[in-house]
Amino acid sequence: MKKHWLTAVFSVLVLALTGAENTPLFQYDFSKDSKLDLQRKAKIAGGVLKLDGKGDFAYVPDSSGMHFAKTGMTLAATVKLNYSPSTKEFSDKLDMFFSKGKEFIFGKSGDKLYFNFHDGKTWCATTLTAAGAVPEPGKWAHVAAVVEYVNDAAQGDVGYRISIYLNGEKEITKKFLFVQPVQNADRIELGKGFGGGPWFMNGEFANAVMFDRALNAAQIAELCSREPRVKMTRKGFTEIDPELKKTLDGLKNSGKNPVRWLAASLERAAVSGYDQQVLRNLAAAAAKFNDADLAEFAKRFNRAQENCRILLTSDLAAAVLTGRGSGSHPVIGLLDRRSVQEVFGVKSIAWEIQWSKGKQTGTLEKTSAPE
């Protein structure tokens, strides 16, 4: 029975998790990139885009034709804001990250992160996080807004789902039915927004990116994890025991690709809450076959212990926890054998439990999303 279950899981993974990551519409790392149309006194210095909140901003070149419409959209950036919570005007303080005239806007409104888009008549997708879900002043933070097209006509659900993330964590998801954004020919702005302003950002950008698709929760977390300025402490994740971390780092820096891949997978299981003593035993077993190729490594490792299985197809390898223990999910690694690259972090397992409250247009969704 266990063998049939594992085969079914692996078949689903093969169908659902293959595919390459789409290219962003634009992507800036300001330690390397400076191709922006800087306005007023905006400048790129010390590896960041600096804005004073008094009129500084930047246009993204050649961005008048960039839209989200029905294909979805993701906006993400690493920012540091200079506001002071003690000032009297804090409740009305606005720091804008991205905007495109009256097409869409994403920024900080008071003590909440804020996203909205325009239908040609009004701003119709007001999405605000809970109070306090904003970057701390003077500290780097990763912010993201995701727009996902919803088309479930059988249930009467056609519209958009908006999600806002802070430091890799989803802070809110809200659905807006029977609304449609209207496109315009304005260029995309960094550090400025016109929802009723104009409003500007007082702070710095380290990077900024826009996709013409909706990234999932795991992909947003991966974007955040690539940013060394941001300390990412995800809710529900566990700190790795230093000795286990040292052992896994040793395996990742030695031997052939199979043991290095499995070590990274075991580390993923550790931060997901799996029993770390079990993982120590698995790491010790893997170390014995440090120089084996993938097929031989899987064969010998599977025989040596009973808490993890490596399953192989011609294109993929999956590491699946099968013995006693607890964690967020049993599939801890998925290797593309053709590129010798880990699939998780580009595509990953994620699911959401959503429900509605009330019958009004623009039904509120509450979401839980383990990855």
pLDDT tens string 154-185: 777 899 999 999 999 999 999 999 999 999 99
One-letter amino acid for residue 335 of the chain: L
Q: Looking at 199, 225, 251, which one is the last position of a domain?
A: 225
Q: 209 CB contacts (<8 Å, ≥6 apart)?
A: 24, 26, 27, 28, 74, 75, 76, 77, 223
Q: Which of 83-97, 185-199, 233-247, 260-274 bottoms out in mean pLDDT, i.e. has the lowest?
A: 83-97
Tell me, yes or no, whether 43 lies in a domain. yes
Statement to judge: residues 213 and 247 lie in one domain: no
Tell me, yes or no, whether 329 lies in a domain. yes
**Does residue 115 come out as left (phi exceeding 0), alpha (psi in the -120 to 50 range) or beta?**
beta
- Please count the CA atoms within 13 angstroms of the CA of 322 that sit on its side-chain side: 20
Segment of 49-58, 193-202, 218-227 carrying the highest mean pLDDT: 49-58
**What is the maximum span of the chain, computed from C-alpha positions, in angstroms?**
68
d(CA 117, CA 234): 28
What is the DSSP track for 293-361?
-HHHHHHHHHHH-SSEEEEE-SSEEEEEE-SS---S-SEEEEEETTTTEE-TTTS-----EEEEESSSS
Statement to judge: residues 171 and 245 lie in one domain: no
Tell me, yes or no, whether 5 lies in a domain. no
More confident residue, 50 or 3: 50
What is the average per-residue pLDDT within 14-29? 65
d(CA 304, CA 297): 10
Give the tens place of pLDDT for each residue, 334-365.
999 998 888 876 444 544 445 455 544 444 44
Statement to judge: residues 207 and 274 lie in one domain: no
Statement to judge: residues 112 and 159 lie in one domain: yes
Q: In this structure, what are the phi and psi dihedrals at residue 227, rounded to the nearest 5 degrees? A: -95, 105
Tell me, yes or no, whether 205 lies in a domain. yes
189-190 sheet: strands from edge to edge: 37-39, 57-59, 189-190, 94-99, 104-109, 112-117, 127-128
Tell me whether strands 112-117 and 104-109 are parallel, antiparallel or unpaired. Answer: antiparallel
Tell me, yes or no, whether 73 lies in a domain. yes
pLDDT (0 to 100) of residue 90: 52
Domain hosting 42: range is 26-225
Residue 153, pLDDT above cutoff 80: no
Give the tens place of pLDDT for each residue, 99-110.
999 999 999 999
| SS3 call for 264 | helix
What is the average per-residue pLDDT within 212-237? 83
Question: In terms of Cα–Cα distance, which of 116, 92, 121, 93 is closest to 104?
Answer: 116
Instruction: Give the CATH number, domain containing residue 122.
Output: 2.60.120.200
Statement to judge: residues 159 and 58 lie in one domain: yes
Tell me, yes or no, whether 267 lies in a domain. yes
**Does residue 320 come out as left (phi exceeding 0), alpha (psi in the -120 to 50 range) or beta?**
beta
pLDDT (0 to 100) of residue 353: 46
Question: In terms of Cα–Cα distance, which of 188, 200, 195 is closest to 37?
Answer: 188
Statement to judge: residues 97 and 129 lie in one domain: yes
d(CA 339, CA 316): 10
What is the percent of the chain where pLDDT is above 70? 81
Statement to judge: residues 219 and 242 lie in one domain: no
Give the tens place of pLDDT for each residue, 295-314.
999 999 999 998 999 999 99
How many Cβ atoms sit within 10 Å of the Cβ of residue 8?
10
Count up the domains in the chain and report the number. Answer: 2
Inter-residue contact 363 to 177 (CB < 8 Å): yes
Residue 247, pLDDT above cutoff 60: yes
pTM of model > 0.85: no
Inter-residue contact 145 to 162 (CB < 8 Å): yes
Triad 263, 330, 300: Cα angle to 5°: 50
Statement to judge: residues 212 and 301 lie in one domain: no
